[in-house]
Every structure is written in structure tokens, then in C-alpha cells.
Amino acid sequence: MAVILFPPSLSVSHPSPSSLYSRSRSSSASMNHPHRNNKGAASRMSFMEFPYVSGPRKELMVELVSTLQTRLATQLLPCDLPPDVQYYQNQTGTAQATLHVRSGIQSSPIDFILGSWLHCQLPSGGELNITSLSAYLNLLTDAPNFLFELIQSSPTSMVLILDLPPRKDLVLHPDYLKTFYEDTQLDRHRQLLEKLPEVKPYTSSSLYIRSVVSPTGILVSIEAQAGETERMVEIVRDHVSPIAREVLGVWLDVCVSGEREVKEPERAYLARRDQVSKSKTIEADLGSSLPRLFGQEVADRVIKALEKFYNQ
């Protein structure tokens, strides 16, 4: 799912915290398989290009992805998605997206990491730009996953989702709440952001998404005055970026590197919970949004390539 374990649901008319995700064999290298875009130019954009977004937002995404891949370098397998899944578009070129996925090696607590960007020209004349990054852990640990997503529907309107979605019931396991959310002081980031006049809490229309987000999860809408595009750039650079870097650091230091023992009875519960969350992404999110944006043929191709990660 989007905001949880990961992507929620994507709607062109009313974007919600969700995302598509992408793989590429080399995260920073351009792909050598040209496509014909809506202007007739032959090109194939790679995941790490992050086009269509502001400089600070691109820099943040590149930094987050690079940090993940550097810190986890020895624990990750290379990307192996087909070229037409690493980058794909609709027939008219009005919707484009990339996918980047890397699985963890058998001895690693990493299940897989996903990243993507999506660009769509809206019927209203505007644009929808989504950049996403998430990381899932496997049954070697019960620590939270990582989710970061920026959904921008206009130059002055954006939704931010940043969370470490829990994988255990926080009521039944208060020690889990203390370790990952209280001791790490994650809630101070949300409090700082919400002091900005442009930032308001964001309420997803999906009750499912609301049920899986952590108590310290950041789900906010950022709205600047008409014409104040530079203010949006400043907010991303001066406020969103430092917070996203810190939260990713907490995830790497506490969730990935922290020692956690998952006993056999707990492992069965964790496996079931993880599988339900992953399946929800495919069935309720990507299954409905991808066909609308890219057509059924492209959607089927992308979903089939992703199913092995969500169903493992």
C-alpha cells in the first residue's frame, strides 16, 4: 500500500498517498532503449533523472536513493526488471513513469526497496508529479518499513507522506512503540512541519491507509498562495529535505541495524500481515490506477513484473 507498507492509491482526479514503483538495472544510468514520446523525440528516461520536478526535490530524491543503496550495498541484489517496466508510458506520451526495485540477499533483513517517479498531464491542463521511495523488511526482523512520497498536482499544491509504518500492533506491544517511535522522537518532525502556515494535516479518503500509518506518520498537504512557486521550492529544500533525511537515518540505524529476534510463533503472524499489505497494493491500488493512466496492456505488464515482490 502506499502509505503503509507503501503505496496507497493513485487517482488522476484526486491523488492520494500512493505510488508506482520502479526498477532499473543501473539507478543512475540512462536506458539505451529509446521510445517515441508525444513530441516525437526518441528518448528513454531513467529512474534517477527525476524529471519534471524542482531542483531541490530532485536533489532530495537522488540523495535518499543514493543513501539507501550505499548503506545497503552489500545486502542488495541488482535490479533486473525488463526495460519496458523500468520505463513505461501511455500511447500518447501524456503519462510516463519509471520503476526501480532491488531485492535483498538471503541473509539480509531487507525484503526489497522500491522507487519511482510518475508524470501525468491532467485533463484540466495541469500536471501530476509523484516521486516515491519505500523499503520493506523481511521476517528476519519485525521492525517498521520506510515510506516517502511527494504528490504534486499543481506548482503550489503538494501532499507529503513520510512514515515508518509499523508491522506489529502498537497496543499489544508498547515496547515496540517506545523503541521505534518514542525513543527516536519521530513526532517532533511532524510538529515542526505543521508550524508552517502552508502545511495542514492530510486525511486520506482510504480508511485502510489510515489504519496502517504509524502515530508519528507525516501526512500533510502543503499549499502556497497562487503564484508562489518559489515558496514551494523553499519548503522542500529547507523543511521537507532535512526531515526526510533524518527519518531515513533513523530507519537505517534503528530498524535495519537494530537487533531484533522474531520467534517462530510471531513469524507466522508477521508473514500473514506483510502478505496482506503487499497484496492490497496490487489489488486495490495499482490494479485500478495503472489501467486508467497507461492502458490495460501496459498495466498488466507492470503489475506482472511487480507481483513476484508483493507475493513472495
Question: Percent of the chain at pLDDT above 70?
Answer: 86
DSSP string covering the chain, please?
A: --SSSS-----SSS--S----BB-SSSSSPPS--EE-TTS-EE---GGG-TTS-HHHHHHHHHHHHHHHHHTGGGBPPP---HHHHEEE-TTSSEEEEEEEEEBPTTSSEEEEEEEEEEEE-TTS-EEEEEEEEEEE-TT-----EEEEEEEEETTEEEEEEE---SS-TTT-HHHHIIIIITTTTHHHHHHHTTSTTEEE---S-HHHHHHS-TT-EEEEEEPPTT-HHHHHHHIIIIIHHHHHHHHHHIIIIIISS-----HHHHHHHHHHHHHHHHHIIIIIIHHHHHHHH-HHHHHHHHHHHHHHH--
pTM: 0.87
User: What pLDDT band is residue 79 in, cutting at 50, 70 and 90?
Assistant: very high
Q: Please give the class, per CATH, of domain 35-310.
A: alpha beta
Over range 279-292, report the average pLDDT.
Answer: 79
Q: What is the pLDDT of residue 284?
A: 65
The answer to whether 108 and 94 have CB atoms below 8 angstroms apart is: no
Is 132's pLDDT higher than 50?
Answer: yes
Question: Rg (Cα) of the chain, in Å, rounded?
Answer: 18
Residues in Cβ contact with 98 at an 8 Å cutoff, skipping those fewer than 6 apart: 22, 24, 45, 46, 47, 49, 86, 87, 88, 116, 117
Is 68's pLDDT higher than 90?
Answer: yes
Over range 99-105, report the average pLDDT.
Answer: 95
Cα separation, 137 vs 157, in Å, equals 32
Q: What is the pLDDT of residue 10?
A: 36
Q: What is the pLDDT of residue 61?
A: 97
Closest listed residue to residue 100, CA positions, set 141, 140, 135: 135
Q: What is the pLDDT of residue 301?
A: 95
Over range 178-183, report the average pLDDT.
Answer: 98
Q: What is the pLDDT of residue 34?
A: 33
What are the phi and psi torsion angles at 70 (to 5°)?
-75, -50
pLDDT tens track for 2-40? 333 233 333 333 333 333 333 232 333 332 333 334 443
Name the one residue in this structure whose C-alpha cell is 528518448. 43
pLDDT tens track for 229-255? 999 999 999 999 999 999 999 999 999
User: What pLDDT band is residue 311 in, cutting at 50, 70 and 90?
Assistant: confident
Q: Which of 79-88, 198-207, 208-217 has the highest mean pLDDT?
A: 79-88
Query: What one-letter code names the amino acid at 311?
Result: N
